């Protein structure tokens, strides 16, 4: 048949092989898309190749399918680089672990068989096989694969460690706290894989555009092949050839790959540097941030407050104040409670038990200690409970708060225990035991981070805190913040975030991922900081900074901005190439083979441009 058609058998066989090798896979994908009601680029390429063959340009049709399949292979290889960057994290966990059994014997077991409670031995230079807590030994551990920290972290008994991190010079015995499939490393990998599967808003928009655009291209090609022939009497073969060329050069391959190439690479790069994006939408949203809202404690401050002042009143001693406060604070989960309890322990104060403990979020706590009602909290909270405070209490509180310290007033009184038989005290005949002041130091990198954020173009920096206004004012002034809101309850923080979103649009909320969950959810992007190993943060936040380094926040914004620039560059380049090739094809200046080279070449270049984001941050902080 080939010889009858005037085609040498050898050349005809080569054409058939080229059409089969390049056309069958594309045709299968095109038919699958058509069944879903989608016209995609594969259909455009198959139609162009078949059309070229019909009018005698079999060689160019074969070149088209060959280069299209080659370009597809290169694109797949390029996109696989982003998946490999994440899959490489899986190799960090060792296959085996040295297990110490309860009878003291040791055995090498598969790391995936470890269970909570197992005791493993980690020698110097080895990778930790599971998440756990150091039982014995001291060392320094390289946590870069999890947190992105460049400096090893000292570890000792009671310190938490992560699977895949590298032990330093000391021998460690580690008590396993999570099975392998639930380790922080495994959860990070799962979350990043889920994030890469989600489309960014720009990609969703382009996909919707692409479905309509493909139909427009087919319509334009049909018009190119028929209208000049019917209206102007042009040569059909010539116009049909131009129409097939138009099908190729107008195909939006490069446009379609521009966003996923950059976004997936950015997500992979972030994960390697301790910044976990939960989806491409948050990569784009971080780049558009106009306002950043910080929670104070644990975000701008180190989150480890300490007692700085104990001021006794009404003849009480400092020990009496600490004793009463620590008794009720020992039942509290508030971050200031630990500071009071630690101060009591440091002064060897015997702390009695508390009964009837109650907490009012952001205001204070109450309880019954040795038959007396004890109230610890703000001045307003004590007044609500019927306590009369001397004027010097208010003056002392003001002075301490102006120094940036958080204050709590401690008072005892009210009814005595009925079982004691002692007389009852009038509800308002209360004793003001004293005032306790607590201070939390600013993070050493906080000022530099604020300066970097301003340099990146963030318009407004806001702080939210449940602390007193004078304390908040002192910290906001020190950091040169634009705005602060004090004495905020969790629901108040949500209100402020919603108001900022209404005024500015792009709002990023930075907190600890646990206490600030409502405000994080209200923001356009919720960022949890210092959350390696924190289940709640990994599940609730949109972006997780895996280390307690506030400097990672501007780094994450630079990464997002870099991804956005790359997307804009790639889309602009792809659109320009398509415009030039379409105009040239309609004018008859571009042959089909040259159009194929230009189209597929631009697609590969766009994919490679997106992959540049994989190198973002290498050699930087």
Residue 47 resides in a domain = no
Residues in contact with 58: Cβ distance below 8 Å, sequence separation at least 6, in sequence order: 7, 15, 52
Decide which of 398, 419, 439 is a domain's last residue.
439
Is 466 part of a structural domain of the chain? Answer: no
Instruction: Give a yes or no: residue 207 inside a domain.
Output: no
Tokens of 217: 């291209």
What does the pLDDT read at residue 424? Answer: 42
Q: What is the pLDDT of residue 423?
A: 40
- Domain membership of residue 82 (yes or no) is no
The answer on pLDDT for 74 being more than 70 is: no
Across 607-611, average pLDDT: 89
pLDDT classification of 45: cutoffs 50, 70, 90: confident
What pLDDT, in 10s, does the model give residues 331-384?
Answer: 887 778 889 999 999 999 999 999 999 988 778 899 999 888 999 998 889 888
**How many Å is the Cα radius of gyration of the chain?**
33
- Distances in Å between the alpha carbon of 485 and those of 472, 477, 480, 553? 7, 13, 14, 21
Per-residue confidence (pLDDT) for residue 549, from 0 to 100: 87
Is residue 221 exposed (0-12), middle (13-18) or buried (19+ Cβ within 10 Å)? buried
Exposed, middle or buried: residue 482 (CB in 10 Å: 0-12, 13-18, 19+)? middle
Q: Name the active-site residue from 118, 131, 295, 549.
A: 295
Identify the pLDDT of residue 3.
42
Q: List, in order, residues 6 or more apart from 335 with CB less than 8 Å away.
A: 297, 298, 303, 305
Q: Where are the alpha helices (DSSP H) in 91-200?
A: 144-147, 184-197
Residue 290 lies in a domain: no
Of 192-196, 523-527, 588-592, highest mean pLDDT: 523-527
What is the pLDDT confidence band of residue 290, given thresholds at 50, 70 and 90? Answer: very high
403 in a structural domain: yes
473: phi then psi, degrees, rounded to nearest 5: -65, -40
Tokens 């001045």, residue? 379
pLDDT digits (tens, 9 = 90+) for 291-336: 999 998 888 988 788 899 999 987 788 999 999 999 999 988 777 8
Angle (CA) 591-592-598 rounded to 5° is 90
pLDDT in tens, 455-498: 999 999 999 988 788 888 988 999 999 999 998 877 888 899 99
Chain CA centroid to CA 9, Å:
59
CA distance 337 to 590: 76
pLDDT of 177 strictly over 90:
yes
Report how far residue 196's alpha carbon sits from residue 190's, in angstroms, rounded to the nearest whole number: 10
- Quote the domain boundaries for residue 161: 96-182
Tell me, yes or no, if 309 is annotated catalytic.
no
Q: Which pair of tokens denotes residue 334?
A: 């508030």
pLDDT value of position 418 = 37
List CB contacts of 567: < 8 A, sequence separation 6 or more. Answer: 202, 258, 259, 262, 263, 610
**432 found inside a domain:** yes
Q: Among 25-39, 69-83, 514-528, where is mean pLDDT lowest? A: 69-83
Burial of 319 (C-beta count, 10 Å sphere; 0-12/13-18/19+): middle
Round the average pLDDT of the chain to a whole number and report it: 83
Which three-class secondary structure state does DSSP give residue 558?
A: helix
Q: Are 568 and 255 in contact (CB under 8 A)?
A: no
pLDDT digits (tens, 9 = 90+) for 102-125: 988 999 999 999 999 999 999 998
Question: What was the pLDDT predicted at 325?
Answer: 93
pLDDT digits (tens, 9 = 90+) for 191-238: 777 766 666 788 788 878 877 888 888 899 899 999 999 998 888 888
**Cβ-contact 245, 217 below 8 angstroms:** no
Number of domains in the chain: 2
Q: How many residues does the structure list for the chain?
A: 621
Residue 148 scores a pLDDT above 70: no
User: Taking 70 as the threshold, does the pLDDT of residue 429 lie above it?
Assistant: no
CATH at 430: 3.40.1110.10
**Which of 143, 163, 182 is the C-terminal boundary of a domain?**
182
Domain closes at, from 182, 210, 227: 182
Is 512 within 8 Å of 531 (Cβ atoms)?
Answer: yes
Structure tokens at 408: 């709590």
Over range 172-196, report the average pLDDT.
Answer: 83
Share of the chain above pLDDT 90, in %: 34
Whole-number pLDDT of residue 533: 47
247 falls within a domain: no
**CATH code, domain with 124:** 2.70.150.10
Average pLDDT over residues 610-621: 74
Evaluate whether 384 touches 378 at the Cβ level (below 8 Å): no
Residue-wise pLDDT tens digits, 488-518: 877 888 899 999 999 998 999 998 755 677 8
The CA-atom distances, in angstroms, between 267 and each of 4, 146, 229, 614 are 57, 14, 51, 9
- Nearest residue to 287 via CA among 463, 472, 508: 508
What percent of the chain is modeled with pLDDT above 70? 85
- List Cα–Cα distances, 520 to 241, 271, 534, 539, 576, in angstroms: 57, 20, 15, 12, 40
Block residue for tokens 């019917």: 230
pTM over 0.75: no
Task: Flag whether pLDDT at 274 surpasses 80.
Answer: yes
Q: What gap in Å lies between CA 366 and CA 384, rounded to an integer?
A: 12
């Amino acid at each position: 048949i080939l010889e009858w058609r005037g085609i040498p058998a050898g050349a005809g066989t080569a054409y058939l092989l080229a059409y089969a090798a390049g056309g069958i896979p594309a045709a299968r994908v095109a038919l699958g898309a058509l069944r879903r009601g989608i016209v995609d680029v594969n259909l455009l390429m198959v139609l162009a190749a078949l059309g070229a063959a019909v009018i005698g340009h079999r060689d160019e049709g074969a070149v088209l399918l060959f280069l299209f399949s080659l370009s597809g292979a290169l694109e797949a290889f390029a996109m696989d680089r982003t998946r490999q960057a994440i899959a490489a994290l899986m190799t960090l966990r060792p296959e085996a672990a040295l297990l110490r059994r309860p009878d003291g014997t040791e055995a090498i077991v598969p790391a995936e068989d470890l269970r909570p409670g197992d005791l493993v031995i980690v020698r110097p230079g080895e990778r930790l096989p599971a998440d756990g807590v150091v039982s014995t030994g001291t060392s320094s551990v390289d946590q870069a694969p999890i947190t992105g920290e460049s400096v090893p972290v000292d570890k000792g008994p009671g310190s938490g460690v992560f699977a895949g991190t590298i032990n330093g010079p000391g021998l460690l015995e580690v008590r396993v706290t999570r099975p392998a499939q639930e380790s922080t490393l495994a959860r990070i990998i799962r979350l990043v894989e889920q994030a890469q599967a989600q489309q960014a808003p720009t990609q969703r928009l382009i996909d919707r555009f692409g479905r309509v655009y493909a139909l427009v291209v087919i319509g334009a090609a049909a018009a190119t092949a028929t209208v000049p022939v019917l209206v102007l009497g042009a040569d059909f073969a010539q116009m049909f050839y131009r129409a097939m060329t138009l099908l190729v050069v107008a195909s939006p391959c490069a446009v379609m790959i521009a966003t996923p190439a950059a976004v997936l690479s950015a997500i992979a790069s972030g994960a390697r540097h301790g910044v976990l994006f939960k989806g491409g939408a948050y990569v784009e949203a971080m780049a558009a941030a106009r306002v950043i809202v910080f929670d104070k404690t644990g975000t701008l401050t180190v989150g480890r407050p300490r007692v700085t002042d104990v001021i006794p009143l009404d003849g009480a001693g400092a020990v009496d104040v600490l004793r009463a406060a620590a008794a009720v604070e020992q039942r509290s989960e508030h971050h200031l409670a630990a500071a009071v309890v630690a101060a009591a322990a440091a002064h060897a104060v015997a702390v009695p038990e508390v009964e009837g403990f109650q907490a009012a979020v952001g205001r204070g706590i109450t309880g019954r200690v040795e038959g007396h009602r004890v109230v610890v909290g703000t001045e307003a909270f004590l007044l609500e409970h019927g306590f009369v405070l001397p004027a010097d209490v208010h003056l002392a509180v003001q002075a301490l708060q102006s120094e940036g310290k958080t204050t709590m007033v401690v008072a005892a009184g009210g009814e005595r225990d009925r079982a004691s038989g002692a007389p009852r005290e009038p509800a308002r005949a209360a004793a003001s035991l004293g005032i306790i002041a607590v201070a939390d130091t600013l993070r050493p990198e906080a000022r530099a981070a604020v300066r970097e954020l301003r340099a990146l173009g963030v318009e407004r920096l806001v702080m939210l805190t449940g602390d007193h206004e004078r304390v908040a004012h002192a910290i906001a002034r020190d950091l040169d913040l634009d705005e602060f809101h004090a004495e905020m309850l969790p629901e108040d923080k949500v209100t402020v975030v919603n108001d900022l979103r209404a005024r500015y649009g792009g709002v990023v909320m930075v907190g600890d991922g646990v206490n600030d969950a409502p405000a994080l959810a209200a923001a356009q992007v919720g960022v949890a900081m210092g959350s390696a190993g924190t289940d709640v943060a990994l599940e609730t936040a949109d972006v997780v900074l895996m280390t307690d380094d506030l400097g990672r926040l501007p780094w994450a914004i630079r990464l997002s901005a870099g991804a956005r620039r790359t997307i804009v560059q790639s889309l602009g380049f792809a659109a320009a190439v398509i415009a030039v090739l379409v105009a040239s094809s309609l004018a008859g200046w571009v042959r089909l083979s040259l159009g194929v080279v230009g189209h597929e070449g631009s697609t590969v270049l766009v994919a490679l441009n997106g992959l540049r984001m994989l190198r973002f941050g290498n050699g930087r902080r």
